[in-house]
Amino acid sequence: MSVFLAFYHILRSLLASRLVLVAENLALRQQLALVHRSTKRPRLRHRDRFFWIALSQLWQDWRSILVIVKPETVIKWHRQGFKYYWRWKSKLGQIGRPQIDREIRALIRRMSRENPTWGVPRIQAELHLLGYRVRYRKPPSQTWKSFLENHAGEIAAIDFFTVPTVSFNILYGFIVLLHDRRRVVHFNVTTNPTAAWTAQQLIEAFPEDKAPRFLIRDRDQIYGEHFRCRVAGMGIEEVVTAARSPWQNPYAERLIGSIRRECLDLVIVFSEKHLRRILREYFRYYHEVRPHQSLGRNSTVPREAELPSQGKVISIPQVGGLHHRYLRAA
């Protein structure tokens, strides 16, 4: 009945003069204020809530005349309506995901407990290598430039990263990464990087004419004339990224992010020698154990998938216990 009454008032307002509407609006607001003072909390029905939800979508200034409830309450009704709608829609088809075996659930909890920094893709990759098939919603993958896709086997990337020590000194880490299998062919640590030191690291990374065709780097001033001459002498073509565009060197930036999240953010570095030893252990884990989503959920040095029939699952601590390797033992 109230719906028809509302439509009646709408039609009447379209036909009435502006002065009549102003007078009626003033009278109604005075009566509403009086009712609001005398009634603590009015009772609202579902159709009343629906009316305000619809009005909030059709009229921009609906908050200016709302006095019976707060505007946040109307927004909350709107969100609850979406929740009820999707709950109803989900009941029309199959409910929930396929159930996972109890053994696999226990193993997932074990991996999550022993490796606090691991996410869903990492655990799913380890389960894949242990012979389990657990489906999950794959996150959207980033699309690289065609240059990176077409020349992945001929590209190396270099980059620096800083590490503070316990005495608040700054150490500089340097990595040389091959794109094809995400392999770190060389790394080193120094307190004073120079162009000559950086060029020497590149020579140590690619001895005996094993240099790649392209080298991706940023515009850091450390790559001075001495470095550029040495790179040109090795027959390498430099690909310099645009200013303030780390996304153009994606694999090296992603590697440095992994080093920080999975290792350096969880330890305290005492000295240059200590940092070099930590990175050596991490890169051994990175190459031989850690699965990479872009490498078919396998490690840089490929691991064979082990079936449940090959024995029980055991774990071996890696990188001082920050991570673990899972395999089957007969």
What CA–CA distance (Å, rounded) separates 236 from 24?
Answer: 83
pLDDT confidence of residue 175? 98
The answer to whether residue 99 is domain-embedded is no
The answer to whether residue 231 is domain-embedded is yes
pLDDT confidence of residue 143? 46
How is the beta sheet containing 170-178 ordered, strand by strand?
183-190, 170-178, 155-164, 214-217, 237-240
pLDDT confidence of residue 278? 96
Q: Are the beta carbons of 103 and 134 closer than 8 angstroms? A: no
Query: Global pTM?
Result: 0.63
Same domain, 146 and 70: no
Count of domains observed in the chain: 2
What CA–CA distance (Å, rounded) separates 24 from 103?
Answer: 71
- Give the tokens for residue 166: 């316990």
Quick count: other Cβ atoms within 10 Å of Cβ 284?
14
The answer to whether residue 104 is domain-embedded is no
pLDDT confidence of residue 290? 95
Q: Are the beta carbons of 119 and 136 closer than 8 angstroms? A: no
Q: Are the beta carbons of 237 and 215 closer than 8 angstroms? A: yes
DSSP string covering 172-236: EEEEEEETTTTEEEEEEEESS--HHHHHHHHHHHS-SS---SEEEE---TTS-HHHHHHHHHTTP
Same domain, 38 and 127: no
Same domain, 220 and 73: no
Q: Are the beta carbons of 216 and 255 closer than 8 angstroms? A: no
Same domain, 161 and 255: yes
The number of CA neighbours under 13 Å toward the Cβ of 296 is 9
The answer to whether residue 111 is domain-embedded is no
Q: Which of 90, 105, 140 is the last residue of a domain?
A: 90
- Give the tokens for residue 316: 């071996």
Which domain does 182 fall in, by range?
A: 116-330
pLDDT confidence of residue 4? 56
The answer to whether residue 229 is domain-embedded is yes
Same domain, 32 and 129: no
Same domain, 297 and 148: yes
The radius of gyration of the chain from alpha carbons, rounded to an integer in Å, stands at: 32
CATH assignment at residue 324 = 3.30.420.10
What CA–CA distance (Å, rounded) separates 227 from 184?
Answer: 20
The answer to whether residue 109 is domain-embedded is no
Specify the residue for token string 């490498």.
295
Same domain, 212 and 327: yes
Same domain, 183 and 69: no
pLDDT confidence of residue 141? 45
Q: Which residues pair with 188 in a beta bridge?
A: 174
What CA–CA distance (Å, rounded) separates 188 from 56?
Answer: 61
Same domain, 247 and 283: yes
Same domain, 63 and 196: no
pLDDT confidence of residue 208? 78
**pLDDT tens, the chain, 330 aa long:** 455 555 556 666 565 666 666 666 666 665 666 566 566 666 667 666 667 666 666 666 666 666 566 667 767 766 777 677 777 766 665 555 667 888 888 999 999 999 988 988 899 889 889 988 876 655 544 444 567 777 778 999 999 999 999 898 999 999 999 999 999 999 999 999 999 999 999 999 998 778 999 999 999 999 999 999 999 999 999 999 988 888 889 899 999 999 999 999 999 999 999 999 999 999 999 999 999 988 889 999 999 999 999 999 999 999 999 999 999 987
Same domain, 165 and 57: no
Q: Which of 323, 327, 325 is nearest to 116 (CA)?
A: 323
Cα–Cα separations (whole angstroms), residue 255 to 251, 261, 273: 6, 10, 21
Distance of CA 51 to the CA centre of its chain: 40
pLDDT confidence of residue 81? 72
Same domain, 121 and 85: no
The answer to whether residue 48 is domain-embedded is yes
The answer to whether residue 101 is domain-embedded is no
